[in-house]
């Protein structure tokens, strides 16, 4: 326990101050939330101890932001919410953090201890509710024990597989006072211990790779979170191995690297004989590692920090339990020892590389044709072709919304790790603006610490995705965050209807006809750019490629703190180019 200075031991502090001090000691920097009864004073105490409190407009967005900042920094962000409904709204962000394996802490105000089971204001079984969405959930039994609970929550959120934790704030604790010396403060928990894989398994994995004819490295966001970029790049380049990043594994090695085979994804997955999984899970995003997307005889080398994930869905041939950078270093050292200091290399002239390169080249031709089609209304590929001309390589990209997200993943390259945030493992809609706020704060803070200009943050969303959290534009403008938003507007969910369709429905005057409109349709040609203008930001409306080019160039070149939003209309029927397999693998019942 940390003992306060002797001169401070008899100082009386409120429960709100104890929560705030404990968070600061544990290295929490960012707190997102919405104030109200009973946590108003907690938010003020958080600011008084020097933490950054960001007032959001919806608890879901606050929770999404806390999870995203945890991923970007490696230290949990916190989310402060009111009792009952406020906590319920935050559960979406907790679930998202758990599925993505991101550290975060939710602090929820709750009813007074002496009013339990009496029907108190917003009374709800919050600890019990949060257990399904967290690694750890607790209600302190006294103010003096709060620091120990906070330390355990922070430690649990980052140790092992990262995730969400919950700490309750009984309403009667907030303004009650105790002696500072009676509080059981603990020093900041150290970083998670780094573990190594079993040496015998390392040898087995190395031998399996050496025997492979068609090897493939799959880089997951676990490798990005683990800061494994240097080791992964060295491992891939030493052996001249083709690699495939998962959506948020993009940038661990730059997407334009000559060994990246994203453009031949289906062919690589279907025909590889040995896969090395680096912090990636064989879940729906990788089609469970099974047929028809994978060869039934494929052998898997799985590297993961979570023992429970090993052999999930597919029996791994070799399972390497440990911290990804350290395990890769073990593989590199083993290769040196067994090959006289010179690692073996897969020849670029091998049949495997020729087979993959053929598909990469053919896909490039078809994608280029779609990107060069600038006819009005625009298609997705044409929009992203314009945007890529003005995106700096160190830009952080947030992408959300079905085709908007999926097509941008193939069209917009990432060159640095942890520079793409999207719907993730949980496929969550509504994350866009929360993620954008977190990324912008992170970028600005890094700039202050390094003295370098802040990295640009661009949030690209479909119109449906934007609607989930669009009111957070007020948050963006209130904090003067220099974000650039692009709403790719097709009047609907997946696809919408044109203005003439809606005019005909209105003219009919028949309620039955109006109610028969497809549920995917949204209001046509909505002026989303006007929403940011209402809060003092800059809005642009674009229909042609030239208009988009001019507007996006202006927004990206500005150095002011004013946020901007570009609403670009596209063809309501625009979709992904025809693919060999559907994006979502389904079971045969």
- In whole angstroms, how far apart are CA 333 and each of 95, 202, 342? 38, 10, 10
Residue 394 has pLDDT above 60, yes or no: yes
Query: For residues 90-113, b (16+ Cβ closer than 10 Å) or e, as one string?
Result: bbbbbbbbbbbbbbbbbbbbbbbe
CB atoms within 10 A of CB 280: 26
Does residue 4 carry a pLDDT above 60? Answer: no
pLDDT (tens digit, 9 = 90+) per residue, 411-420?
999 999 999 9
- pLDDT surpassing 80 at residue 343: no
Predicted confidence band at 344 (pLDDT cuts at 50, 70, 90)?
A: confident
| Residue range 12-49, pLDDT digits in tens | 999 999 999 999 999 999 999 999 999 999 999 999 99
Q: Where are the domains of the chain?
A: 12-182, 199-359, 373-569
* CA-based nearest residue to 433, from 472, 478, 474: 472
Residue 421's beta-bridge partner residues? 398
Say what the alpha-carbon torsion angle 262, 307, 324, 445 is, to the nearest 10 degrees.
90
Q: pLDDT at residue 6 above 50? A: no
pLDDT at residue 252 tops 60? yes
**CB neighbour list of residue 337: distance below 8 Å, 6 or more residues apart:** none
Average pLDDT value for residue range 379-400: 97
Axis-axis angle for helices 229-239, 324-338 (nearest 10): 30
Arithmetic mean of pLDDT, 331-337: 90
Q: How far apart are CA 570 and CA 406, in angstroms?
A: 16
* C-alpha–C-alpha distance, residues 395 and 46, integer Å: 31
* Residue 471 to residue 455: CA distance in whole angstroms: 24
Crossing angle (nearest 10°) for helices 351-372 and 402-411? 120
What pLDDT, in 10s, does the model give residues 459-510?
999 999 999 999 999 999 999 999 999 999 999 998 888 888 777 777 777 7
Are residues 124 and 88 in contact, defined by beta-carbon separation less than 8 angstroms?
Answer: yes
**What DSSP assignment string belongs to 462-511?**
EHHHHHHHGGGHHHHHHTT---EEEEEE-SEESEE--HHHHHHHHHH--H
Are 199-359 and 373-569 in the same CATH fold?
yes
Highest mean pLDDT among 3-7, 109-113, 548-552, 554-558: 548-552
Name the phi and psi angles at 32, rounded to 5: -110, 140
Phi, psi of 81 (to 5 degrees): -135, 160
Q: Give the tens place of pLDDT for each residue, 103-135.
A: 999 999 999 888 888 787 888 999 999 999 999
The Cα 58–Cα 461 span in angstroms is 18
Q: 395 exposed, middle or buried (CB, 10 Å; 0-12, 13-18, 19+)?
A: buried
Tell me which of 3.40.50.970, 3.30.450.20, 3.30.1050.10, 3.40.630.30 is the CATH number of domain 12-182. Answer: 3.40.50.970
Q: What are the residues whose beta carbons fall under 8 Å from the beta carbon of 362, sequence distance 6 or more?
A: none
The pTM assigned to this predicted structure is 0.95
Which of these CATH numbers, 3.40.190.10, 3.40.50.970, 3.30.750.24, 3.40.50.1370, describes 373-569?
3.40.50.970
What's the CATH code, domain 199-359?
3.40.50.1220
Q: SS3 breakdown of the chain: % helix, strand, coil, rounded to 5?
A: 45, 15, 40
**Largest Cα–Cα distance in the chain?**
82
Tokens of 115: 């009013």
Reported for 287-294, long-range contacts at CB under 8 A and 24+ positions apart, including other chains, are: 287/585, 288/313, 288/314, 288/585, 289/313, 289/314, 290/314, 290/585, 292/581, 293/266, 293/269, 293/581, 293/585, 294/269, 294/270
pLDDT in tens, 166-195: 999 999 999 999 999 999 999 999 999 999
């Amino acid at each position: 326990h940390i003992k306060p200075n002797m001169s401070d031991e008899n100082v009386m502090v409120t429960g709100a101050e104890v929560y705030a001090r404990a968070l600061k000691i544990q290295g929490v920097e960012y707190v997102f939330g919405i104030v109200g009864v009973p946590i108003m004073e907690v938010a003020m105490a958080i600011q008084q101890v020097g933490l950054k409190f960001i007032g959001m407009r919806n608890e879901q967005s606050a929770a999404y932001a806390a999870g995203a900042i945890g991923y970007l920094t490696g230290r949990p962000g916190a989310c402060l919410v009111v009792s009952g409904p406020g906590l319920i709204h935050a559960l979406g962000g907790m679930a998202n953090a758990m599925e993505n394996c991101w550290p975060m802490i939710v602090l929820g105000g709750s009813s007074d201890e002496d009013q339990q089971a009496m029907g108190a204001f917003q009374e709800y079984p919050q600890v019990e509710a949060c257990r399904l969405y967290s690694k750890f959930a607790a209600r302190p039994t006294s103010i003096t024990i709060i620091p120990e609970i906070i330390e355990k929550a922070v430690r649990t959120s980052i140790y092992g597989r990262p995730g969400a934790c919950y700490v309750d704030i009984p309403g009667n604790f907030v303004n009650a006072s105790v002696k500072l010396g009676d509080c059981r403060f603990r020093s900041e928990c150290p970083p998670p211990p780094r573990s190594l894989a079993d040496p015998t398994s390392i040898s087995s994995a190395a031998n399996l790779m050496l025997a492979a004819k068609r090897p493939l490295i799959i880089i997951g966001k676990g490798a990005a979170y683990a800061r494994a970029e240097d080791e992964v790049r060295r491992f891939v380049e030493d052996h001249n191995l083709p690699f495939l990043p998962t959506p948020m594994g993009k940038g661990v090695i730059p997407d334009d690297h000559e060994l990246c085979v994203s453009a031949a994804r289906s062919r690589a997955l279907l025909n590889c004989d040995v896969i090395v999984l680096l912090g990636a899970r064989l879940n729906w995003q990788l089609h469970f590692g099974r047929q028809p997307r994978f060869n039934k005889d494929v052998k898997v080398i799985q590297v993961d920090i979570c023992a429970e994930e090993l052999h999930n869905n597919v029996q791994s041939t070799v399972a390497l339990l440990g911290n990804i950078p350290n395990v890769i270093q073990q593989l590199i050292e083993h290769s040196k020892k067994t090959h006289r200091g010179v690692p073996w290399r897969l020849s670029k002239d091998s049949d495997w590389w020729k087979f993959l390169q053929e598909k990469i080249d053919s896909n490039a031709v078809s994608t280029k044709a779609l990107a060069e089609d600038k006819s009005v209304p625009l298609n997705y590929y044409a929009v992203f072709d314009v945007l890529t001309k003005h995106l700096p390589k160190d830009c952080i990209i947030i992408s959300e919304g079905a085709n908007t997200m999926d097509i941008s993943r193939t069209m917009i390259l990432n060159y640095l790790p942890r520079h793409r945030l999207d719907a993730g493992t949980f496929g969550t809609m509504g994350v866009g603006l929360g993620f954008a706020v977190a990324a912008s704060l992170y970028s600005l803070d890094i700039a202050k610490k390094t003295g370098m200009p802040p990295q640009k943050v661009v949030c690209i969303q479909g119109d449906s995705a934007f609607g989930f959290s669009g009111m957070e534009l007020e948050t963006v403008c209130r904090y003067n965050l220099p974000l650039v938003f692009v709403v790719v507007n097709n009047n609907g969910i997946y696809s919408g209807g044109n203005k003439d369709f809606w005019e005909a429905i209105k003219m009919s005057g028949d309620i039955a006809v109006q109610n028969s409109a497809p549920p995917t349709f949204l209001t046509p040609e909505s002026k989303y750019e006007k929403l940011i203008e209402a809060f003092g930001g800059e809005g642009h409306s674009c229909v042609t490629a030239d208009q988009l080019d001019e507007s996006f160039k202006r927004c990206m070149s500005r150095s002011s703190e004013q946020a901007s939003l570009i609403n670009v209309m596209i063809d309501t029927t625009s979709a992904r180019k025809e693919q060999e397999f559907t994006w979502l693998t389904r079971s045969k019942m």
